[in-house]
Structure 1
Amino acid sequence: MLAPLSLLGWPRGAPALSILIYHRVLPRPDPLRPGEIDAALFDAQVHFLSQHFELMTVSDAAAALREGRLPRRAACITFDDGYADNWTVAHPILAAHGARATVFIATGFLNGGRMFSDTVIEFVRRCSGSLLDLDAVGMGRHAIGSDEDRLKAISALQVQLKYLPPEERDAQVRRMLDAHPVSGLPDDLMLSDAQLRQLADAGHEIGGHTVNHTVLTTLAPEGAREQVQAGRAHLESLIGRPVRSFAYPNGRPQRDYDAGHAAMLRELGFEAAVSTSAGVALPGADPFQLPRYTPWGRSMTMFAMRMMRNARMGGPAAVV
């Protein structure tokens, strides 16, 4: 599929910026994390991108957009949250292709923390039997007799927790674990301070993603500002560099962030922010609402086709 993309060309006359969302790069496929890419497929995708796009960090791409010098086919590889395998698995692959990524860090989970979504996955993985009964804590009963059942249970539990305020969400997770104790939950999923510094020193951009991955629209304005500022200050103290970009947690316009949050980031001196709206950023795009999408597809043919389709969508409307 590499040659056809080159021969057909990009489906836009104007320069366009594709920003791709990753979270983890697993050493090998995991049936309970079907949305996460494995090392072999990531290597193939980075090879494809390095052959057909100019790979940039988010801040550099936003500057190129503002200054009218964006390459015709530009792309950013981004990672959300701050998983340890961004360093241990993804970095060696990126380095082999001469590529840099932008890694958005939720600082509250560094050094042994665990995001609630991962706690749910690893909890369900370790539960025995064919039925998980959480009626006592208001979280229902879930079949777990097969991997397919476990995936459905994981999704249902994550949905129940996703939009709770952080303190309430954490308390409910503790009640879930108390109601059905399991052993061996991992404490090495997220980056350590040392690994984060290594990523920065290797040339990857480090961006903000709040402290607790809190959806900004669930907070009062002062609370959202504190989450953004505290996360940024922590990162800058660790890496000794300015943090110039930000990723909205969850990232859907209106539901997860609004124009007021974009204005706040501009006021705080950030240079760019990314959402999870599909499409590409075109000249004149709002640098504080840059679109991003997840590169689905287990084959490189599907990956290339979906990149082309995403480019044809253009840029999403800004939230005002």
Structure 2
Amino acid sequence: MLEKSLLSLLSPGGRHGLSILIFHRVLPQKDALFPSEVDAVEFSAQVGMLKSHFNVLPLLEAVRRSKEGTLPPRAAAITFDDGYADNAEVALPVLQRHGLHATFFVATGFLNGGRMWNDSVYELVRRAPGGMLDATPLGLGAHPLHTLAERRQAIPALIGQLKYLPMAERQQQVDRLVALAGVALPDDLMMNTSQVRKLHAAGMGIGAHTVNHPILARLPDDEAREEIAQGKLALEDMIGASVPLFAYPNGKPGEDYEARHVAMARELRFEGAVSTSWGANRGRPDPFQLPRFTPWDRSRLRFVLRMARNLTTSARLA
């Protein structure tokens, strides 16, 4: 097949050409507020296309084989970030039907009823009554919510103002915003302990993603190291097994994490770590800064072309 020949040329194996896909959620059905978020049907189609064109490996195996120089041509791995409940309830059955493996990077501080700050923003905008969400007392502006389109616009407008605040200040602002909106938010978005164990028992990989998902570059070194170490220890205690892989929160090299955090991951005895920089392993890959990307295309041809383009992209490093 011409497509496989092209991909094999760009992804020859050995140490080179590992494509790592990143997902966050797989919804049971389409969400009108987030029409681009993948649902179960689309996810099944995407991993089916991946399986037909690539040699899909568990990420840990891919990391080890990359170090050894024994990757097969068209090597790929599937990952998920954060620890959403739908990973265990929706994504896992799809992966099992296709006979595929994925690694799930879990931020432990949100398990068992917690909620990530950005999801609080998403859900308060979803549930707020129509009219105007006036967050000017918090310095976050006023946001009309009369239509679905306006709600879609309000979410990135609020997220953008909050994202890079210090972690404690950001959470305080989110809590005030929720109180201002006067709505009750869901407490079942993230996995519970039994769902993490369910993934592990099914043979899936469990990776560390800190405790509170902070921007590591904004923390003092001792706090950053503690976030990484405690997330790893909590998961190892939870599943009764080692947790050898780590994902940097947000994951942009030089912006969300820096070379000092790469050193921390090495010192804490991880075998590898992943970023969110697009690209594939070229040259001699750094196992502690493995690039990942999200293929959002729905048609087979566009999906293959997107994967090929990713293979020609040199990933940034911290």
**Scaled by the length of structure 1, what TM-score is found?**
0.95
Q: Give unpaired runs (5+ residues) of structure 2.
A: none
The separation in 1 between residues aligned to 2:316 and 2:22, in whole angstroms, is 19
Q: Per-residue deviation at 1:10?
A: 3.1
Q: Which amino acid aligns with 1:254?
A: G
The separation in 2 between residues aligned to 1:297 and 1:9, in whole angstroms, is 17
Q: CA contact under 8 A between 2:245 and 2:270: conserved in structure 1?
A: yes
The separation in 2 between residues aligned to 1:137 and 1:159, in whole angstroms, is 14
Match of 1:30 in 2: 31
Match of 1:311 in 2: 311
The separation in 1 between residues aligned to 2:140 and 2:38, in whole angstroms, is 29
- Secondary structure of 1:122's counterpart equals helix
Match of 2:284 in 1: 284
1:205 counterpart = 2:205: yes
> What is the Cα-based RMSD across aligned positions, in Å?
1.4
- Secondary structure of 2:158's counterpart equals helix
Match of 1:168 in 2: 169
Match of 1:243 in 2: 243
Q: Per-residue deviation at 1:4?
A: 4.8
Q: CA contact under 8 A between 1:139 and 1:160: conserved in structure 2?
A: yes
Q: Which moved more, 1:136-145 or 1:193-202?
A: 136-145
Q: CA contact under 8 A between 2:7 and 2:308: conserved in structure 1?
A: no
The separation in 2 between residues aligned to 1:300 and 1:138, in whole angstroms, is 45
**Scaled by the length of structure 2, what TM-score is found?**
0.95
Q: CA contact under 8 A between 1:65 and 1:282: conserved in structure 2?
A: no
The separation in 2 between residues aligned to 1:211 and 1:300, in whole angstroms, is 37
1:272 counterpart = 2:272: yes
- Secondary structure of 1:207's counterpart equals strand
The separation in 1 between residues aligned to 2:95 and 2:2, in whole angstroms, is 24
Residue identity over aligned pairs, in percent, reads 51
Q: Per-residue deviation at 1:318?
A: 3.0
The separation in 1 between residues aligned to 2:9 and 2:149, in whole angstroms, is 38
Q: Which amino acid aligns with 2:315?
A: P
| CA deviations over 1:208-246 (Å, ceiling 9, x no partner) | 100001010010111100000110100000001101001
The separation in 1 between residues aligned to 2:48 and 2:159, in whole angstroms, is 33
Q: Which moved more, 1:99-108 or 1:281-290?
A: 281-290
Distance change in 2, residues 1:72/1:282 (3 Å): farther
- Secondary structure of 1:292's counterpart equals coil
The separation in 2 between residues aligned to 1:13 and 1:30, in whole angstroms, is 35
The separation in 1 between residues aligned to 2:207 and 2:140, in whole angstroms, is 34
- Secondary structure of 2:211's counterpart equals coil
| Aligned residue runs from structure 1 range 284-303, under 5 A | 284-303=284-303
Q: CA contact under 8 A between 2:28 and 2:40: conserved in structure 1?
A: yes
Q: Per-residue deviation at 1:9?
A: 4.0
The separation in 2 between residues aligned to 1:262 and 1:305, in whole angstroms, is 31
| Aligned residue runs from structure 1 range 1-320, under 5 A | 4-6=2-4, 8-12=6-10, 14-15=12-13, 16-183=17-184, 185-282=185-282, 284-313=284-313, 315-319=314-318
- Secondary structure of 2:8's counterpart equals coil
- Secondary structure of 2:260's counterpart equals helix
Q: Per-residue deviation at 1:19?
A: 0.5
Q: Which amino acid aligns with 2:140?
A: M
Q: Which amino acid aligns with 2:8?
A: W
The separation in 1 between residues aligned to 2:48 and 2:142, in whole angstroms, is 44
Distance change in 2, residues 1:4/1:41 (3 Å): farther
Q: Per-residue deviation at 1:52?
A: 1.7
The separation in 2 between residues aligned to 1:309 and 1:318, in whole angstroms, is 19
Q: Per-residue deviation at 1:282?
A: 3.4
| CA deviations over 1:258-300 (Å, ceiling 9, x no partner) | 1111111111100110011111113620000001011112333
The separation in 2 between residues aligned to 1:301 and 1:5, in whole angstroms, is 9
Q: Which amino acid aligns with 1:228?
A: I
Distance change in 2, residues 1:122/1:4 (3 Å): farther
Q: Per-residue deviation at 1:165?
A: 2.0
Q: Which amino acid aligns with 2:124?
A: F
The separation in 1 between residues aligned to 2:35 and 2:263, in whole angstroms, is 36
Q: Which amino acid aligns with 1:237?
A: D
Q: CA contact under 8 A between 1:11 and 1:311: conserved in structure 2?
A: no
Q: Which moved more, 1:299-308 or 1:268-277?
A: 299-308
